[in-house]
Amino acid sequence: MDALRLVALVAASAAVAGFARRTPVPAPLLLVAVGLVASYVPGVPDYTLDPHIVLPPLLYTAAVESSYLDLRANIRPVALLSVGYVLFATVAVGWLAYVLVPDLPLTAALVLGAVVAPPDAVAATAIARRLGLPHRITTILQGESLVNDATAITAYKVALAAAVGEAVSWAGGLGEFALAAVGGIGVGLVLMVPIHWLRTRLTEPLLQNTLSLLIPFVAYAAAEEVHASGVLAVVVVGLFLGHKAWKVDFATRLQEEAVWKMVAFVLESAVFALIGLQLPYVVQGLGPYGVGEALWYAFGVFVFVVVVRFVWVFPATFLPRWLSAGVREREPGVDWKAPVVVGWAGMRGVVSLAIAFSIPVVTDGVEFPARNLVLFLTFTTVIATLVVQGLTLPPLIRALKLPGRDRHQETLAEAQAQNEASRAAEARLDALLADERNALPGPLADRLRTVLERRRNSVWERLGAVNELTGETADDTYRRLSREMIEAEREVFVRLRDERRIDDEMMRTLLRRLDLEEAAAYREETD
């Protein structure tokens, strides 16, 4: 029965998320709405969410796709947002909830503050890339979302311990926070090298990808076992393995990318569906707080969450420049528009939901105060930020007319890099062919050189003129025709299999070669 419930949740969530891609409605909002409707259908079971299952893979895939070098170059703004802002928002939102909600203990209010403090920049960075925001803003938002989860979870644990009656002083809380942070980074540093060594020694892609699925859970569990931050351990390991991903073979990288996209899609879809499924139960359990009263509190918390981010972002952007000439030299030309975008890109998401679901009903015989109200305020804050900020961020970016990425300069840099790499490959080929042991017939040697020439010219051709009839560059036309040819070959292979002139095993072998060629063409086109 449990297996059927899980299959039903995953299948329904994936179907709704897939349908949302065909509509202008953001997938998280549609998932919440459908989950809410489904919660009133008789026979729909009650679901729960284990954050220890959801968080490690989501954090790992985000870390692997991030750039260690870009994060290091922007360490100051990333740290100010991912650590400073999260702690500031935890205290500020917690204080507001304590003042706004009668009889809500300060410790429970701080738990709420920690839960809603970390923005989830997945949607924001996707919008930033689609609209061509400056690379630095995208990097800062992505870097913030990697580390702020660890800050929020650690702050949550300290506040939770105080809320259930454990003696925690401010000094003790700060000490626990520092220990968890240092310990999590330490565990990540210890694990990353042997894991990378093992990845490069495995020669079977299936084994390598099995290991890849285990890595985030191993890093998370190892850190939590020593009371350190499992989130930071996962992030450190993921950043290192992503930085060294070029050392594993191509088949592993192709499989890994597909597997992790699927995992992230399924988990994020299921989490947002769970909001709708859980919301009626949370509302029913509000206790002394009426629905209208709770909605008023929700409105106040949402507005304050938005305001607090701007209160932090603007001083964090301009104070370092006013105080340091070195910062002004390294980061010239920063105006008010960039912090406006960063401030408005503070949508909450999966991490806040996962932390909220982990709030215990009872711990050591002590009931958590106003648990359902905290859950309700978390749900409403996530939904409100996704609706208000998520839907208005693209028009805001367009209205501000920020200088976008210089596509021509990026293409030129790509072409120069490809040219240099192709020349190195050509020199290696000449040296190899000079050895009698590597002798090849002339046509085959020419084919290798043709491949190099094609790769070298393809990027330069994107800088050239376009076809007046189609609007395509020569490179675009080449790729389109190449894919048409591949499709023609594929149809022949299937026909030959149906006519029993080749068997299924041979057809799969031939189709895989075509799939790899088409995948390469598709990646060039989408990149």
Domain that holds residue 518: 473-527
Report d(CA 171, CA 161) in Å as an integer: 14
The residue type of 13 is S
3-state SS of 424-479 is HHHHHHHHHHCCHHHCCCHHHHHHHHHHHHHHHHHHHHCCCCECCCCCCEHHHHHH
Does a structural domain hold residue 191? yes
Q: Are residues 141 and 191 in the same domain?
A: yes
The answer to whether the CB of 238 falls within 8 A of the CB of 216 is yes
CA nearest neighbour of 28 among 20, 40, 36: 20
Q: Are residues 429 and 342 in the same domain?
A: no
The answer to whether the CB of 219 falls within 8 A of the CB of 188 is yes
Q: pLDDT by residue for the chain (527 residues), tens digit each?
A: 467 777 888 888 889 988 888 887 777 778 888 888 888 888 777 777 677 788 889 888 888 888 888 888 888 899 999 899 999 999 999 999 999 998 888 888 999 999 999 987 665 666 666 666 777 888 888 888 878 887 888 888 888 877 766 555 556 667 777 788 889 999 999 999 999 999 988 878 888 889 999 999 999 999 989 888 888 899 999 999 988 888 888 778 888 888 888 888 888 888 888 878 878 878 877 878 888 899 999 999 999 999 999 999 999 988 888 888 777 777 766 778 889 989 998 888 878 888 888 888 776 666 788 888 998 999 899 889 888 888 888 888 888 877 766 666 666 776 777 777 878 888 888 888 888 888 888 888 888 888 777 777 766 666 666 666 777 766 677 778 888 888 888 899 888 888 888 888 888 888 888 887 777 766 555 44
**Of the residues 400, 429, 453, which one is the last residue of a structural domain?**
400
Backbone angles phi, psi at 164, to 5 degrees: -95, 10
Does a structural domain hold residue 374? yes
**Of the residues 346, 378, 400, which one is the last residue of a structural domain?**
400
Q: Are residues 388 and 440 in the same domain?
A: no
Q: Name the domain count of the chain.
A: 3
The residues near 425 (Cβ < 8 Å, ≥ 6 apart) are: 452
Q: Are residues 337 and 319 in the same domain?
A: yes
pLDDT in the model for residue 372:
86
Neighbours of 206 (CB within 10 A): 11
Q: Are residues 343 and 213 in the same domain?
A: yes
Does a structural domain hold residue 153? yes
pTM here is: 0.80
Does a structural domain hold residue 507? yes
Q: Are residues 351 and 457 in the same domain?
A: no
H helices of 65-102, in order, are 68-73, 75-79, 86-100
The answer to whether the CB of 187 falls within 8 A of the CB of 140 is no
Report d(CA 142, CA 303) in Å as an integer: 23
Q: Are residues 166 and 145 in the same domain?
A: yes
Does a structural domain hold residue 227? yes
Q: Are residues 307 and 427 in the same domain?
A: no
Q: Are residues 232 and 337 in the same domain?
A: yes
Give the CATH number for residue 87: 1.20.1530.20
Does a structural domain hold residue 261? no
Report d(CA 18, CA 269) in Å as an integer: 10
Q: Are residues 386 and 422 in the same domain?
A: no
H helices of 202-249, in order, are 205-225, 230-243
CA 281 to chain centroid, in Å, comes to 29
pLDDT in the model for residue 527:
46
Pull the structure tokens for residue 82.
């991912």
CA nearest neighbour of 2 among 40, 42, 48: 48
